């Protein structure tokens, strides 16, 4: 599993590097290199932590397909992949055209948000051993409703944490164009949350009662 984790992270960071540098048309891009190195270190460190604390969840996190995954979620994952690649292309084109000037202070804030996203998601993993990357009810793992930690406040804390990543990354790299796409990701996770809730309402005992108790999806007091 550790070998698979390392290969998974190397491939993921390698694809990001390929898309960013090809669209930028240059390798002379210090903030992108810094982002990629941080991503590799954070990805490996988080994965190793998960391997020690919850190897079952790590195994689930590295399965990107499941026969019980709803067709709506399969289509969502395909569309989301296109959107994510487009986002990196837009950030690269921003660099190619020298369209953005990002103050160093904001880039530092971007790094803080990126790391905050990672820590928040690790908290989610610690509370929820069923946080698989695809929507499904994990009956074989005795799936049950989680209502502790961040789940006591919002129903989809994972998506809230990932939104910090989609805000922090373009700030860290220095792309206003990338930051401008943030509403697209919020809309995407709003759609994903509905797909997930439809599945859990129908297949996970107690989820309907949980949704009645915890009213907010991603933004406490707002939505």
The Cα-based distances of 129 to 62, 91, 214, 218 in angstroms read 14, 34, 19, 19
Q: What mean pLDDT do residues 190-210 have?
A: 94
Q: In whole angstroms, what is the distance from residue 154 CA to residue 165 CA? A: 18
* CA geometry: angle 39, 149, 64, nearest 5 deg: 45
In this prediction the pTM is 0.92
Q: Sorting pLDDT into bands at 50, 70 and 90, what band is 69?
A: confident
Query: What DSSP string describes 163-214?
Result: HHHHHHHHHHHT-HHHHHTHHHHHHHHHHHHHHHHHHHHHHSTTHHHHHHH-
For 139-194, write each residue's pLDDT tens digit: 888 899 999 999 999 999 999 999 999 999 999 999 999 999 999 999 999 999 99
What backbone torsions phi and psi does residue 14 show, to the nearest 5 degrees? -60, -40
DSSP code, position 162: H
For 5-61, write each residue's pLDDT tens digit: 899 999 999 999 999 999 999 999 999 999 999 999 999 999 999 999 999 999 888
Asked whether residue 217 carries a pLDDT value surpassing 90, the answer given is: yes
Q: In whole angstroms, what is the distance from residue 198 CA to residue 156 CA? A: 13
Which helix or strand (DSSP H or E) is residue 40 part of? helix 30-53
Which helix or strand (DSSP H or E) is residue 80 part of? helix 71-96
Give residue 123's pLDDT.
97
Give residue 50's pLDDT.
93
For 80-119, write each residue's pLDDT tens digit: 999 999 999 999 999 999 999 999 999 999 999 999 999 9
* CA geometry: angle 22, 32, 48, nearest 5 deg: 110
Q: In whole angstroms, what is the distance from residue 215 CA to residue 96 CA? A: 44
Q: In whole angstroms, what is the distance from residue 219 CA to residue 223 CA? A: 5
Q: In whole angstroms, what is the distance from residue 26 CA to residue 21 CA? A: 6
Asked whether residue 205 carries a pLDDT value surpassing 80, the answer given is: yes
For 34-50, write each residue's pLDDT tens digit: 999 999 999 999 999 99
Give residue 12's pLDDT.
94
Q: In whole angstroms, what is the distance from residue 124 CA to residue 183 CA? A: 23
Asked whether residue 76 carries a pLDDT value surpassing 80, the answer given is: yes
Question: How many angstroms from the chain centroid is the CA of residue 96?
Answer: 26
């Amino acid at each position: 599993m550790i070998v698979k984790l390392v290969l998974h992270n190397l491939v993921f960071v390698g694809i990001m590097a390929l898309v960013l540098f090809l669209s930028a048309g240059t390798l002379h891009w210090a903030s992108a290199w810094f982002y990629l190195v941080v991503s590799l270190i954070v990805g490996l460190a988080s994965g190793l932590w998960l391997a020690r604390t919850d190897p079952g969840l790590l195994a689930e996190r590295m399965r990107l397909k499941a026969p019980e995954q709803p067709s709506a979620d399969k289509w969502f994952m395909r569309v989301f992949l296109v959107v994510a690649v487009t986002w990196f292309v837009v950030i690269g084109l921003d660099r190619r055209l020298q369209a953005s000037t990002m103050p160093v202070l904001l880039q530092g804030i971007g790094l803080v948000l990126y790391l905050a996203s990672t820590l928040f998601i690790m908290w989610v993993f610690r509370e929820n051993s069923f946080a698989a990357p695809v929507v499904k009810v994990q009956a074989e793992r005795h799936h049950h409703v989680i209502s502790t930690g961040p789940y006591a406040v919002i129903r989809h804390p994972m998506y809230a944490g990932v939104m910090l990543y989609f805000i922090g990354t373009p700030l860290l790299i220095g792309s206003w164009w990338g930051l401008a796409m943030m509403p697209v990701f919020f809309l995407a996770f709003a759609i994903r949350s509905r797909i997930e809730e439809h599945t859990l309402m129908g297949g996970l005992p107690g989820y309907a009662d949980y949704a009645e108790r915890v009213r907010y999806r991603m933004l406490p007091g707002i939505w």
